[in-house]
Every structure is written in structure tokens, then in C-alpha cells.
Structure 1
Amino acid sequence: MNIRGSLLPVIMLCAFIISGCSDSSSDGSVQAEENVPPVELSFWNPFGGGEGEFVEQIIKDYNDSQHRVFVKQLRLESNEYYARLSTALSLGKGPDVAVAHVDRLSPFIKAKQIVQLDALANEAGFDFNEIEASNRLSVRYNGNDYAVPLDTHFHMLYYNKDILARARLLNNDGTPKLGEPTPAGFMQFLQQIHERVPGIQPMAVNTPYFQESFLDLYYEAGGELLSPDLKKAAIHNDKAIQVLTFYQQLFDRNLSDLNDKTPWDSFDHGQAGLWFGGVWEAGHHLGNPSLHVGIMPLPPIFGSSVHWGSSHTLVVPAYVSEQKQHAAMDFMKYFSEVGGAIWGQAGHVPANHAIVQSDAYLELPYRKQFVVSRDSVKFAPKTDKYAALYTAISEDLQNIVQNRIIPEQGLAALEKKLNQILAN
């Protein structure tokens, strides 16, 4: 069944409704007069791979749905995206609307480089109350909304059904026999795979982006990155030590390959039994005919279901003209209320209530489990220094696992570095 095709009537109906809601105004808002050239918006985003095709479809559908605004996208490589966006915002020349992860908003807000959206949203008929509460809170600073949240994204437990069946660790309903939800219980489960299915990794660990693997379990253990007042680091503690020790034991016992540079491919090629992968990978793995995959929320092996997550949002730079601000709000409204039906197919959980509660979304594979897992996501602390903190965390955690540094020593050095960043 072509899911996207089955959604087109709904999408076109919603697009027709939206296109008739915000035609003309005397205050600089988007006009709908005949023979008036459309307002052209430059839309910057870092969406490549499988995500890119969904964004292209949303933009095309929006441009086809009305003639007041024309969106032209510039897709940038993810490793250069924020450097270029930050430069553009500083120089006052760049996109008219842009994607920003929720943990990147704070410095832009502090520097007054992006627009408060409440007045624009009100004029466009966009209701922030139709956004999931956790997403709404994440973009709200001092009582003002600074971005339109598009989604929540996070990790799920992907498992290879063929490997688990060979290991005699698959239930009759196709779910894994994980055993006791503790570090020791999970380790025993992986050990059974290792003994019964030689030649594969029981679990591929995302060592290239190890900070995310760490945060998944550290947040499960109740850990925090910063003190409640956001002025001190809080990562040098027993919880963090236990999580790092757990991962080091996986590598030492050959239950995961520390030197695997592309663990996502290892899982996709059937060379690993388990994988903590992003929801955005669901379409890719499920679309692989040679891979029989199951998906479930991360097991609470460190005591809770809380885990790492983030969100894509849309923002409007402060240098954008009033006319283009209204045009950008019209596009953002469409992306949330209509395009969200397509965006949900990419794997991300849409932030818009109506989309995520719709039968069309919930009937997609595993989406009900995605929604359950979304409700346990922990977003980054709202500090304008998070980018620098995250870089330090990423580098030091990578160093700890790759060079077999004693967790206690590595975390002590990391916390000192984080406190230096916070003090400056």
C-alpha cells in the first residue's frame, strides 16, 4: 500500500482549507491578489538522506496549494549547518525561515537573532496549544514562543528477528525475551546471543556518536547534565560511572564492537542483533526486504523509561522583512498542520496533536509505540552554552570509551571542563 498516496486526499483538503484562511491584510501580511508575484522564501535545512525526500514533498505541496508564497530550499550538510546559520544570523543575511534543533535555540534568543512568533501566529490563525505540551515548553522563553516545533525524535530498540530466533530469544508474538530489566539482565541476554549466534555483534553501539548512547542510559538512571540553576555541571557521579562501566563491559566481553565505525550499517546488513537507533531510521530499516526488524521502546535497564531526545523546529531570523515574516508564518503553519502528515512518515513523531492522533498516522508501523516512547523523552537543558557543552561531552565521552579510560577519572576531567565553559 502506498501510504503517502493514501494521505493525499487528506493533505489536499487541509491545504485547501489553509490556503483560504490568510489571504489579505493591510498590515504587511501575505497578499492573495491576482497578478501579484508571490513572496519568495529561502528555507534552510540540514535534511538529507531519507528525510530530504519528505521535506521536498512538503515544500512542493505547499507551493502547489497556493500562489501567495513560493518556498525555495537550500539544503546544507549537517556538519556545517549551524556554523553557516550562526554566521548568517550574525551578519543579518541568509534564510527567511530555517530549521533549528530545540537545543540550539537559546543562544539565538539571547542574541535577539530570531523573531518572537506569538503575534505572527495569532494573525495567521496558528494555535500553539495544538502543539504537544513538551514541545511547546521547549520553545517557550520568558512567556514567548520563538519557534514552531515540528517533531520529537529519539531512539528506539531495533532488533533483528532472525538473529533472535536463532538464539531462541524470540517470543511467539515476535518480541524479544529480554529478561530482567537491569544492567546484569540485559548483559545476560546479549551473552546468550553471543554464545548461540557466533560471528555477529549481539548489539551494535553507536560509538561514532557515543554521547547519545550514553545519554539514553544516563537519563534512564536519573542523571542530569547540569545543576537545577544551570550554573554547574552535574555529570561526575555514580550514575554516570555505572553507565560508562556498563558500556565498557559490553566492549570487553565482545558483546559489541568498539571499533565499528558504521554500526547503523552493521545492523542494517544483518550483522548485529540489537541497535539503539533513531525513529528517523524506521522507514529505512523497515524498507529493507532482507531485514526482518522489530521495534520497541528502549528497555528500562537503568531504572526508568526516560531517555535522550530532541526536536526539529522552524524559526524566523530577526532581519527578515515584515512581509516575509508573515509569509514564513504561513509556511510554518502549513508544515505543522498539513505537512506533519508526511513528516510523520519519515519516522519523527509530529508535534501537532491532530496529526499524531489521526488514524492515518497511528496506522503506520510501530507509531503507537513511538508515541509511548516520546512521552518519556528528556530534552537538553535550556542554556545558551549548550552547543559548547555538548561538544565537550561528545569529545570526552568518545575519548573515555575509545581509550579505555577509567570512568571516574574521565568524568572528573569532563566535569571540570564543563564548569569552565559555564563560568565564561
Structure 2
Amino acid sequence: MTTPLHPVSRRRLLGLGLGAAAGLALAGCGDDDAGPSTAGNGGKDYTGPKVSLNLWNGFTGGDGDIFKKLVDQFNAEHANIALTVATYKWEDYYAKLPGAVSSGNGPDIAVMHMDQLATFAARKVIQPVDDVAGALGLTESDFAATVWKGGMYGGKRYGIPLDMHPVGLYYNKALFKQAGLDPQKPPADRAEMEAALTALKGAGIQGFWISPFQFTGGMTGYSLIYQFGGSLYNDDATKAAFNSDPAVEAVSWLAKLVADGHSPANVGQDADYLALKSGKNAFNVNGIWQVNDLKKSPDVQWGVAPVPQIGTKKAVWANSHNFTVVQQKKTDANKVAGAKVFINWLSQHSLDWAAGGQVPARRSVLDDPKFGELKEVGTLAAELPDAAFPPAVPGVGDVTALFYTAFNEAILGKKPVKQALDDGVAKADKLLEDNRKKYGS
């Protein structure tokens, strides 16, 4: 379960855990307070009897290797805590977790994306970790505000942020040279991008393959909607907004690249990234996690840069991994205390985690000179002030999936852009209303 079918498949649902809320039943475990908040001392240390803990995650690629090394280090340093890791593809992970918890076979610790926290908190699958934040001395000033607030639900904290992962612009330097472009100067704005695409087309190269799938065309479209001044939702995520004039303009710009021959008309899943590696595609907007994969391909001449500003402002899709403590049918205070020790420990070792191709969530780590040595990761870390994180409301992953479906229809030409987005918003608003009834918010 830890080996991906190919380098990018492990990430197909990383961004939003699509389908996580579909058919999700109440976990039905623990009390209404979702577990004790006094087990241990918030992760500062653990002096109780030896406990065995299970941790679930979706780190199936190179980041998984780094993660397992860190777990081994933790186990070596903590004789009274034995941590075992289970790794699943994200799409399986979110579907599997609620049933496992309900049957009493869930993990003790779960890694979860920021936009999934509210869903699983509402379903009492995870329990509050306010005391861990207190033990670490963490406050909003330590993080990007959206990431810190994204861990809250119902006035309680359910997630401790581990990292942030934006998308960036990967480019093929060999194709730049072939088209007479400077391989040290990737495009930074719309004019430069369009000029580069014209030069590439003149050299017989379709320079920017636009995938109709979430990975990664949909995430490109998501980024550009915010760049053009739009958003996927209104301020409190009670209404969808991805059919606004700015959203239509953003998606139309990408659709026109296909119409103008800068991209094949029907790009397969992951084909945009594979074409970049094989020297057929000059540009690919993809996640920061691809840095380590490309480093495994020494024959590929590549670079990475922030996503160009195509619209009126800078903006880029990003998400965040969080640690959570899972609710159990019968609470074991020692296990809860041990789980919090691990979360505390790894949060303090997030610079080591950055080697897995993630941006540490804590500002203090970002300022560490050692982080500056991670050149490619640092390049994309610079985007984070402009990050457009998904909203942290229950069930939002399934709603955002409707945007990706609408984007797919628009890019494939199944519907005019405006109609595709209008149809998607109508469905999204209905689902948002259903979610408010389902989750009581």
C-alpha cells in the first residue's frame, strides 16, 4: 500500500480528500465532549507504562520515507512509546477512517488535511487537542492565520499544523533552450507566460498542457480564480462563487490555451506532469511534493518557480497537513498522553520533515538558516503569503469536488465555460445547504 502506481498517482486526492464526507456515518464513539482534555500534560512528556500506538497517514511517496525515518527516531528516543505507522492512499484513507473508528479499530493518531478537520470533528472521529497547543506554547502568530484557524471547530482545536504545501510552476529547461528562451528566467506574469508560449509554439512545442482533472489542471484553475479576484466560496462558505465574472475569466484563459494549440485537447490524468519529465511539455503547475520526485530523475533539466501572476494579484492553491488524536470507543488516557507526546515531538522536528518536500507550518522553522538550504522548497515557500487555502467547514471537500467537475467539463469543451460553472455552483449551493442540515451548522 505504500508504493504508488507512478510518481504522481499518490497525490490525486491529496488536496481535498474528495469523497471523504460522502456517506460518512456518525462515528458514535466517546462522549459528547469528544474525549478527555486532561490526559497527560499536553505532550510535554510521558512517564506512564509502555503504550503501543498506531498512526495512519497518506504519505505514500518520498515524503513517506522521510516520515518513517522520523518515526524510527522517535521510537528510539522514547522507550515507553512504540509507534506503528500504516500508510494508505489518501482517497482510501478518508473513506476507511470513520468505519475503522466506529468499529473500534481506528488509529490513535491520524494525519489529516486542514479542510477535512471540521468534517471529522463534527462526526466525533477526532478529539480536541487544545492542551497540545498549550504545551507547545503555540499561538496564531506562529502560523499563517488561515492554517491556525483551520484547526478550530466549535470553539475547540482539533489539529496541530505540521506543514503547508502550495503548488508551483515546474518548467523544462531543455525545451526553453530549444525555443530560444532563457532557462534561468521562468515567466512571472501573464505577458511573459504568453510570450513564452508563443515562442514554444513557434518551435513546434505545445508548452502548457492543461489537465481537465483536479491534479493538476483543476488546482491551476483554482489558483487563477483567486488571481483574477474571485473565490470558490463567499466569506463564510455558505454559498459557492466559482461562477463569478473573475472565475469565468480565469477558466476561460486556460480553456483558450487548449483552443489555441498550446495544449492537447484531452490531457489524460497525470499526463501533463509525465510530459514535462519526458521533454514534451514546458510548463506544469504541480505540488511542492514533486520536488523530490524530480530530483530522482537526473536526466531531466528542470526548474521550479512561483506560479506566474496571470490575473490582477498573486494567489496560489495550498493546503496543510495536521496531526489529530483519534476518538476511541473506550478512552485509554495513557495512549492519549503518548499520542500527544509524538505530536509535540514531530512539531518540534518539522525542519527535518521539510526534507520530505513540505513547507514547515511554524514561522520559527521557516526562519531557520537550515531551511534556507532547501532551495526548491524555499522557492515555493515564498508563495505562502498569497496562499488560497480551502475553507475549513464540514463537508467542504465534496462541495469543492463539484468545482473540479465543472472545470473538467469546461476544459474538455463539454459545456461553455460559463454554463459549466453555473451548473456546478447550482449543485454546490444545494450540497452546502444539505451539509448545514447534516452537520448542524
Alignment match of 1:149 (pick from 158, 161, 166)? 161
Does residue 273 (structure 1) correspond to residue 278 (structure 2)? The answer is no
Alignment match of 1:381 (pick from 376, 379, 391)? 391
The structural deviation recorded for 1:373 is 0.8
1:406 corresponds in structure 2 to 416
Q: Write the letter of the residue equivalent to 2:148.
A: R
Range with bigger deviation, 106-115 or 156-165: 106-115
Q: Write the distance in 2 (CA, Å) between the matches of 1:147 and 1:416.
A: 31
1:325 corresponds in structure 2 to 336
2:228 corresponds in structure 1 to 221
Q: Deviations over 1:314-354 (max 9, x none)?
A: 1111225221111111111111111x122201221011233
Q: Write the distance in 2 (CA, Å) between the matches of 1:27 and 1:380.
A: 28
So what's the TM-score if we normalise by structure 1?
A: 0.85
Asked if the contact 2:276–2:283 (Cα under 8 Å) also holds between the matched residues in 1, the reply is yes
Secondary structure at the counterpart of residue 257 of structure 1: coil
1:201 corresponds in structure 2 to 206
Q: Write the distance in 2 (CA, Å) between the matches of 1:44 and 1:28.
A: 19
Alignment match of 1:126 (pick from 136, 154, 171)? 136
1:231 corresponds in structure 2 to 238
Asked if the contact 2:43–2:344 (Cα under 8 Å) also holds between the matched residues in 1, the reply is no
Q: Write the letter of the residue equivalent to 2:371.
A: Y
2:172 corresponds in structure 1 to 160
Change (3 A) 1:301 1:195: same
Alignment match of 2:119 (pick from 68, 83, 107)? 107
The structural deviation recorded for 1:126 is 1.6
Structure 2 unmatched ranges of 5 or more: 1-38, 435-441
Q: Write the distance in 1 (CA, Å) between the matches of 2:105 and 2:207.
A: 49
Q: Write the letter of the residue equivalent to 2:210.
A: V
2:318 corresponds in structure 1 to 309
Q: Write the distance in 2 (CA, Å) between the matches of 1:26 and 1:286.
A: 41
The structural deviation recorded for 1:257 is 2.1
Q: Write the letter of the residue equivalent to 1:310.
A: N
2:351 corresponds in structure 1 to 341
Identical aligned residues as a percent? 24
2:109 corresponds in structure 1 to 97
Q: Write the letter of the residue equivalent to 1:66.
A: H
Structure 1 unmatched ranges of 5 or more: 1-23
Change (3 A) 1:70 1:414: same
The structural deviation recorded for 1:263 is 1.5
Secondary structure at the counterpart of residue 375 of structure 1: helix
1:286 corresponds in structure 2 to 295
Asked if the contact 1:128–1:136 (Cα under 8 Å) also holds between the matched residues in 2, the reply is no
Q: Write the distance in 2 (CA, Å) between the matches of 1:249 and 1:370.
A: 27
Q: Write the letter of the residue equivalent to 2:57.
A: N
1:371 corresponds in structure 2 to 381
Q: Write the distance in 1 (CA, Å) between the matches of 2:225 and 2:402.
A: 17
* RMSD between superposed Cα atoms in Å: 2.3
Q: How many residues align?
A: 388
The structural deviation recorded for 1:298 is 0.8
Asked if the contact 1:389–1:421 (Cα under 8 Å) also holds between the matched residues in 2, the reply is yes
2:433 corresponds in structure 1 to 423
Asked if the contact 1:349–1:374 (Cα under 8 Å) also holds between the matched residues in 2, the reply is no
Asked if the contact 1:96–1:324 (Cα under 8 Å) also holds between the matched residues in 2, the reply is yes
Q: Write the distance in 1 (CA, Å) between the matches of 2:232 and 2:277.
A: 32
So what's the TM-score if we normalise by structure 2?
A: 0.82
Asked if the contact 1:164–1:170 (Cα under 8 Å) also holds between the matched residues in 2, the reply is yes
2:148 corresponds in structure 1 to 136
Q: Write the distance in 2 (CA, Å) between the matches of 1:115 and 1:160.
A: 45
Asked if the contact 1:54–1:346 (Cα under 8 Å) also holds between the matched residues in 2, the reply is yes
1:188 corresponds in structure 2 to 195
List structure 1 runs of 4+ shifted beyond 3 angstroms.
Answer: 24-33, 89-93
1:263 corresponds in structure 2 to 272
Residue correspondence of structure 1 range 18-97 to structure 2 within 5 A: 31-32=46-47, 36=49, 38-97=50-109
Asked if the contact 1:29–1:327 (Cα under 8 Å) also holds between the matched residues in 2, the reply is no
2:372 corresponds in structure 1 to 362
Q: Deviations over 1:359-400 (max 9, x none)?
A: 221111234322211221111122212022022222222122
Asked if the contact 1:99–1:314 (Cα under 8 Å) also holds between the matched residues in 2, the reply is yes
1:175 corresponds in structure 2 to 185
Q: Write the letter of the residue equivalent to 1:257.
A: P
Alignment match of 1:396 (pick from 394, 399, 406)? 406
2:22 corresponds in structure 1 to none
Q: Write the distance in 2 (CA, Å) between the matches of 1:313 and 1:28.
A: 16
The structural deviation recorded for 1:188 is 3.3
Q: Write the distance in 1 (CA, Å) between the matches of 2:419 and 2:365.
A: 47
Asked if the contact 2:399–2:431 (Cα under 8 Å) also holds between the matched residues in 1, the reply is yes
Q: Deviations over 1:112-150 (max 9, x none)?
A: 33211112443xx32223741332222123543211111
Does residue 243 (structure 1) correspond to residue 250 (structure 2)? The answer is yes
Give the number of the structure whose alpha-carbon radius of gyration is greater.
Answer: 1
Asked if the contact 2:172–2:277 (Cα under 8 Å) also holds between the matched residues in 1, the reply is no
Q: Write the distance in 2 (CA, Å) between the matches of 1:361 and 1:283.
A: 15
The structural deviation recorded for 1:29 is 9.2
The structural deviation recorded for 1:228 is 2.2
Q: Write the letter of the residue equivalent to 2:206.
A: Q
Q: Write the letter of the residue equivalent to 1:241.
A: V
Asked if the contact 1:225–1:233 (Cα under 8 Å) also holds between the matched residues in 2, the reply is yes
Q: Write the letter of the residue equivalent to 1:305.
A: K
Q: Deviations over 1:82-131 (max 9, x none)?
A: 10012234445301000110010111222333211112443xx3222374
